[in-house]
Amino acid sequence: MNGFKVLQVQQSVFADNDRRAEQLRQELKTQGVFLLNLMSSPGAGKTTLLSRTIESLNGKLKIGIMEADIDSDVDARTIEGFGAKVIQLHTGGMCHLDAEMTRQGLEALGTNDVELAILENVGNLVCPAEFDTGAVKKAMILSVPEGDDKPLKYPLIFSVCDVVLINKIDVLPYFDFDMERCAANIRTRNPAAKIIPVCARTGEGIDAWTDWLCNEVTAWQKP
Amino acid sequence: MHELGILSSLVHTIEKIVTEEGLTEVEKIVIEVGELSGIVPRYIEQCYPAAVYKTFMEKTALELVTVPGIVKCRDCGLVFNAAANDLRCPDCSGQNLEILEGNDMIVKELVCR
Ligand SMILES: Nc1nc2c(ncn2[C@@H]2O[C@H](COP(=O)(O)OP(=O)(O)OP(=O)(O)O)[C@@H](O)[C@H]2O)c(=O)[nH]1
Ligand SMILES: [Mg+2]
Ligand SMILES: [Zn+2]
């Protein structure tokens, strides 16, 4: 047969990433580093929320931030202005980060002096949800102007997140966004999700968010 | 783009297999793409040349097989083709569906020397 060989492989592409992610998570556990994957659509307020989070934690946790963007370093410079350790990851046109890219990002950031590492994922409600980055927990932001029907339209991301932050509550009077309806829509996809309404601009509701973060980091660092 | 990243990680996966099996050249790969995987077969085809460019798979042919998305209605138990029914149960209109098949992307076969 001309030296040909047909190899039956049956290897899942997603399973490969999942394995790398699990390995990364175990290493982070050993190092006592809590990694959070923060997702949202473009402009929902990830960078603003992170700035407010750094401010509000006020040195209580050693934070390192990875800003993933297709291009540019605008967000990294913003975060740097708030005094946190930060690096910019360029995804080279890619719409999401996988476990391998996240590992490289963490290596570039350096985690020796970091307890809480946060990955600001690429602004997108579809692709980032499909890839386990190795993060310990996942959070997403839904901002009021996007509408309360988003959990119905993008079910996957809502079903994989541990926390859903509803941001820009300061503009609630100008939109037909119904908080109760939104919460119900999220619960049909993910009954366990913690829902935290916030205003990243003014800091309203941020304490509930930072309390959650502190508790999760402490729990993760327990042997 | 989504598909390009997936393909790059796929090249890694195959490289590992090839090394483990002590193979030299991969003539063709056969990949199954589920209709509910969120991956668009047409994009996979378009991105493929870029993903294998300057890798050991540069000359490897790609064969794509689409796997239908089969779901089960959690309300009435009916099993049906998701895409053909617009992700809605044709019996009870339920949308609470459990995916049985077609949400993965699998490297099925390597044709090697
Ligand atoms: N009114 C109001 N505006 C906000 C709030 N939070 C963020 N914004 C504004 O929303 C815009 C986008 O915020 P960013 O923090 O850059 O959003 P992002 O999610 O990081 O955006 P990308 O990184 O581009 O995806 C900015 O003009 C912010 O000032 C809020 O709570 N209320
Ligand atoms: Mg940003
Ligand atoms: Zn049904």
The total number of structural domains that make up chain A: 1
Residue A37 clears pLDDT 80, i.e. is over it: yes
Query: Which ligand 1 atom lies nearest to the CA of residue A75?
Result: 23
CB spacing of B13 vs A13 below 8 angstroms:
yes
Backbone angles phi, psi at A15, to 5 degrees: -60, -35
Q: Looking at the domain assignment, is residue A51 inside a domain? A: yes
Does the domain at B2-68+101-112 match CATH 2.70.98.10? Answer given as: no
Burial class, B53, CB count within 10 angstroms (exposed 0-12 / middle 13-18 / buried 19+): exposed
CA distance B49 to chain A (A): 16
Answer whether residue A13 shows pLDDT above 80: no
Instruction: Find the CB nearest B105 among A9, A14, A100.
Output: A14
Query: Is residue A168 in a domain?
Result: yes
How far is residue A72 CA from its own chain's centroid? 19
Gap from A138 CA to chain B (nearest CA, Å)? 19
**pLDDT grade for A223, boundaries at 50, 70 and 90:** confident
- CB of residue A185 inside a 6 A radius of ligand 1: no
pLDDT band at B109 (very low <50, low <70, confident <90, very high): very high
Query: What residues in A contact B106, CB-CB < 8 Å?
Result: 9-13
Q: Is residue A19 part of a domain?
A: no
Q: How confident is residue A1, by pLDDT bands cut at 50, 70 and 90?
A: very low
Q: What is the CATH number of the domain that holds A59?
A: 3.40.50.300
Q: Are B108 and A130 within 8 A, CB to CB?
A: no
Which of the two residues, A72 and B36, has the higher pLDDT score? Answer: B36
Backbone angles phi, psi at A32, to 5 degrees: 70, 30
Q: Is the CB of A38 under 6 A from ligand 1?
A: no
CB contact under 8 A, A9 and B108: yes
- Sort residue A133 into left (φ over 0), alpha (ψ -120 to 50) or beta: alpha
- Domain residues for the domain of A182 are 24-216
Q: Do A13 and B38 touch (CB under 8 A)?
A: no
Classify each residue of A95-123 as buried b or exposed e, where b means 16 or more C-beta atoms within 10 Å of its C-beta. bbbbbbbbbebbeebebeebbbbbbbbbb
Domain for residue A64, yes or no? yes
Which of A48, A122, A171, A174 maximizes ligand 1 atoms within 8 Å of its Cβ, making it the mutation to test the pocket? Answer: A48
| pLDDT (average), residues A103-124 | 95
For chain A, the first-to-last Cα distance in angstroms comes to 57
Q: Maximum distance among all alpha carbons in chain A?
A: 73
A5 in B contact zone (CB under 8 Å): yes
| CA–centroid distance, residue B25 to ligand 3 (Å) | 48
Domain assignment of residue A52, yes or no: yes
Quick check: A119 and A63 in contact, CB under 8 A? no
Domain boundaries, chain B: 2-68+101-112
Asked if the model's pLDDT at residue A67 lies above 90, the reply is: yes
Q: What's the rounded mean pLDDT across residues B21-28?
A: 89
DSSP code for A56: H
A10-14, A179-183, B52-56: lowest mean pLDDT where?
A10-14
- Residue corresponding to tokens 């386990």: A132
What are the tens digits of pLDDT across the range A132-188?
A: 999 999 999 999 999 999 999 898 899 999 999 999 999 999 999 999 999 999 998
Is residue A5 in some structural domain? no
Can you tell me the ipTM of this complex?
0.70
Q: Which residue has the tokens 């503009």?
A: A171
Q: Domain for residue A35, yes or no?
A: yes
Instruction: Give the CB-side neighbour count of residue B101, counting CA atoms within 13 A.
Output: 8
**Would residue A169 count as lying in a domain?**
yes
SS3 state at B22? coil
The pair of structure tokens assigned to B4 is 């390009």
